[in-house]
A and B are shown apart, each in its own frame.
Chain A
């Protein structure tokens, strides 16, 4: 008997570390008995979702987890795909390289700041992926980077979603004309100039492409009779856009400028374009549906600038009903924390159904970022970016309980600690007071050119 007890004790001791090894870093989890909102396949009651190594492997009932896999009891809870924000400036050290109207060569991937507390706060709001974008100071801004909120790493590379295709920021309207035209006497100063700058950029890129093709051919045939051309990553990036390798996300508001860029893109054979903000997108909804990859809009922001004075909160509903792939974004560290609530507003402003409303923050932004093959819905084979809510996500009373990225639990409300900072810089004063209701981050670094609201 004693021997048996000893054996048992020994076994337990041997097992114990393995039991503890199922920490949040394993990417294996079984979520049981949830109301699963798949997005692409309806809502399934009392359903389990199995995750192995960060991938959804099974969706069904009475699933059994392998030994040592963490199980989450989601009875009476709602499971939906991780929310995707197609327009964000989270986790970036710099937002605007505003010294030139075209800065296609700069990459947001160079300035990722993994220490931004906003990443954690976004996770606490159910957001698993954000599209970290260049600001809107330039007509053609920099190349954006799609981030997965794997908060806790000090390595900026680990936040990058490797599978995501390249995207780039364009901006039309008041922002670039204010920064360059009014601020520095550089074209563009008007919406006419914005179109001219874009056309100039594309035409120069075509010339650049031709020069290099000629020289490369000469080199290949060993008949070099011209000097090597200058390398220009700016023009090279524009060539890549023309070759369809980069999705344009264009900050725009007015219907006429949206229409303008649609025509410019058509003339250059570009169809990979998403219009972001697009407050007046509803006025050109049929064109957006026919020629673009959709629009990514606010739920109800308007009137903060003249070009959004004629907006409507019914924008997303109108676009959706006209067949435009529509998403709702935040462009703000504050708004990103309740995108599920922003999406719900489309039920009030335009009567979108639950499925339509939730698609705005899941599969639709995934499509616009070119990542819908991996995320945006709960399907076997997709990455396990998931959020558990205590109430239906579109209810005002919904509180995100747990957020998983690649099957790893990055946010757990039951175990949430107040201080989630990764790094304390002893050279800076600790934790100052800051009152903010979420500025529009698009004009960060250049917002002295706009009058400030609420000077207290």
Chain B
């Protein structure tokens, strides 16, 4: 109480004064669009937290202040200056980290072609060799674009510099936070390298890229040697400043990594060859094939960022009819196998124990979750998928102190989902990025009223367990929601029904109850008599209880 008054008074005064003056927006604190948040402190109540892959904490509270997670625990008291976020039906995950994003990065302005331009010996920038450029300097903030990626759960992204040549520049680390802030986390990330050329000048093909790289590396070492010698001995002559070589020095001293775009297994092999000849830290970006290389990559400790893009499966039908020869089926089979192998690539990396991350470079936003689900269907565990979006990239970025999991002291970057991640109907409800809340719940969408609502009561040893069943029919398919008492505390929880079968005489379905320790499957089965239900609730592995339910009358529309 005491704290409130002095708080309000100056605020009120300013408001009065500003309204009297008829000026809005002059004062930094005033906000005529209503975008500004009231407080930087938040409290997510009673939610299911997955602080890192493999750990599930139910009925936990999360407090974060000023963009940093301050506490997670059970039954915490809500700070007075915190806004509450009701987390009852939500699942909170660490937000995703995109290890390679090109969105929003513009092409650099290159210097003019000199009069005596010689395409066989062009100035470095015109040959696409400008490692001293930074993606940070070419990033155009585009709030709606950031919002679309944030909506998918991404808060941190490594921005890749634009450029057609082999060394477009250094990578910058950004956060998709509040558009008004400076969201640059790291200006000079790894050096970006690609097997690509500008065209029409030297280097023009992969041949010259490899040769040029060798020369650049050697000359960087010599340049450094010159710098060191000159410091002691001025008589050898000054060092002519070369920004390209300056940018490469940290790489040669293992203080910086080389991030190599590898779109094929031959490019991976070339990157490995480069690393064998000249020792440096290597991270491969956009890996999408090459299962055979996994043991080598593991033994060399190469950082791996897999592509989220997957090939389309329309190729199976694109063989000619004239291919309907004796081996038509075999050829078709080979195409299918190759397609399936590419879906399994991530799972192979998981099997090998390589902590890989993901890049969004080759995927459309619409396909992000679908592609992840495809990979999961083909062997990737959900835990590994989550790790690839959170803990692994944090480690690759050497930022695990401040991101990658929901731990006190780390940045408040979280994604709140309506259901467990990768389950069929899970949607992103909210995203917390840099401690700012972004609400994506579909509020205005009218919840379709359930076709049937049943109130049930089950007799369990601990007493009665009550709740509701809501069944909705859409396009001849039934789906449903079950609400049940939280077995671990107060409140109710909801779950989606599975295998729901409703006839005039019977109802059967199952649903999952998730707790700290386990996930229990519950099967409900029984018979209907008019508007009464009698049946059994079978908690798999535990016990069976009787359950009764009464169908509620649907509220009639008022005329």
A positions within 8 Å CB-CB of B: 93-94, 96-101, 103, 105-108, 110-111, 113, 134, 142, 154-156, 184, 186, 224-234, 418-419, 421, 423-427, 429-431, 433, 445
Q: A419-B327, A419-B331, A427-B311 are in contact. Are A230 and B219 (CB under 8 A)?
A: yes
* Interface assignment of B555: CB less than 8 Å from any CB of chain A: no
**Contact of B236 with A225 in the complex, beta carbons under 8 Å:** yes
Q: A99 is contacted by which of B120, B214, B218, B337 (Cβ under 8 Å)?
A: B120
CA–CA, A101 and B202, complex, Å: 11
Residue on B nearest A424 in the bound complex, by CB: B338
**In terms of DSSP, what is the predominant structure of the interface of chain A?**
loop
**Closest chain A residue, CB of each to CB of B230:** A227
By the criterion CB–CB under 8 Å, are B208 and A93 in contact?
A: no
When C-beta atoms are compared, the residue in chain A nearest to B240 turns out to be A227
Q: What are 27 A-B pairs with beta-carbon distances under 8 A?
A: A94-B207, A97-B202, A99-B200, A99-B202, A105-B208, A106-B211, A110-B210, A111-B206, A111-B210, A156-B266, A184-B120, A186-B119, A186-B120, A225-B233, A229-B222, A231-B215, A231-B219, A233-B218, A419-B327, A419-B330, A421-B334, A423-B338, A424-B335, A424-B338, A426-B338, A427-B311, A431-B319
Tell me, rounded to whole Å, the shortest Cβ–Cβ distance linking B482 to chain A: 41
The answer to whether A103 touches B207, judged by C-beta atoms less than 8 angstroms apart, is yes
Taking a contact as CB atoms under 8 Å apart, the answer to whether B211 and A233 are in contact is yes
Question: Contacting B206 at CB < 8 Å: which of A94, A99, A230, A431?
Answer: A94
Q: Which 4 A-B pairs have the closest CB atoms?
A: A100-B120, A106-B207, A424-B338, A99-B202
Interface residue? B546 (CB, 8 A): no
Q: How far apart are the CA atoms of A455 and B200 in the complex, in Å?
A: 26
A108 to B207, CA, bound (A): 7
Contact B331 A107 (CB under 8 A): no
Which residues of the partner chain B approach A227 to less than 8 Å between Cβ atoms? 226, 229-230, 236-237, 239
The reply on B269 being an interface residue by CB < 8 A is yes
Question: Taking the nearest CB of chain A, how far is it from the CB of B197, in angstroms?
Answer: 9
B452 within 8 A of A: no
- Interface mask (B270-305 → A, CB under 8 Å = 1, otherwise 0): 100100000000000000010010000000000000
Assess whether B142 is interfacial by the CB under 8 Å rule. Answer: no
Provide the residues of chain B in CB contact with A98, threshold 8 Å: 204
The residue of chain A having its C-beta at the shortest distance from the C-beta of B264 within the complex is A425
Known: A103-B208, A228-B225. A430 touches B318 (CB 8 A): yes
On chain B, the residues within 8 Å of A111 by CB distance are 205-207, 210
**Chain B residues positioned under 8 Å from A429 (CB to CB):** 315, 318
Name B112-137 residues within 8 Å CB distance of A. Answer: 118-121
The tally of residues in B whose CB lies under 8 Å from a CB in A reads: 52
Q: How far is the CB of A407 from chain B (nearest CB, A)?
A: 24
Are A230 and B119 touching (Cβ within 8 A)? Answer: no
Complex interface: chain B residues within 8 A of A100 (CB) = 120-121, 202
Q: Is the CB of B222 within 8 A of A228?
A: yes
Residues of A near B226 (CB, < 8 A) are 227-228
Whether B208 pairs with A99 at a CB distance below 8 angstroms is yes
**Please, how many angstroms separate the alpha-carbon atoms of A228 and B236 in the complex?**
9
Report if B538 contacts A (CB, 8 A): no
- Contacting pair B327 A418 (CB below 8 A): yes
- Pairwise interchain contact A430-B215, C-beta atoms closer than 8 A: no
B468 to chain A, nearest CB (A): 47
CB distance from B345 to the nearest CB of A (A): 11
Residue among B201, B230, B269, B273 with max Cβ neighbours from chain A (10 Å): B269
Task: Give chain A nearest CB distance to B2 CB in angstroms.
Answer: 67
CB atoms of B338 and A425 under 8 A apart: yes
Q: How far is the CB of A156 from chain B (nearest CB, A)?
A: 6
**Residues of A contacting B218 with CB < 8 Å?**
231, 233
Q: Report B-chain residues with C-beta under 8 Å of the C-beta of A186.
A: 118-120
Are B120 and A424 touching (Cβ within 8 A)? no
Does B52 sit at the interface, judged by CB under 8 A? no
Complex Cα distance A100/B206, Å?
Answer: 14
Q: How far is the CA of A232 from the CA of B218 in the complex (A)?
A: 9
**Contact between chains at B120 and A93 (CB < 8 Å):** no
Kindly identify which residue among A106, A184, A232 contacts B208, using a CB–CB cutoff of 8 Å. A106
| Chain A residues within 8 Å of B334, by CB | 419, 421, 424
Complex CA gap A106/B204 in Å reads 11
How far is B134's CA from A309's CA once the two chains are assembled, in angstroms?
55
Given that A99-B202, A231-B219, A419-B330 are known contacts, is A107 also in contact with B210, CB under 8 Å in the complex? yes
Residues on the B chain within 8 Å of A233, using CB: 211, 214-215, 218
> Is there contact, CB below 8 Å, between A156 and B338?
no
Q: A106-B210, A426-B315 are in contact. Are A99 and B203 (CB under 8 A)?
A: yes
Q: Is B368 an interface residue (CB 8 A)?
A: no
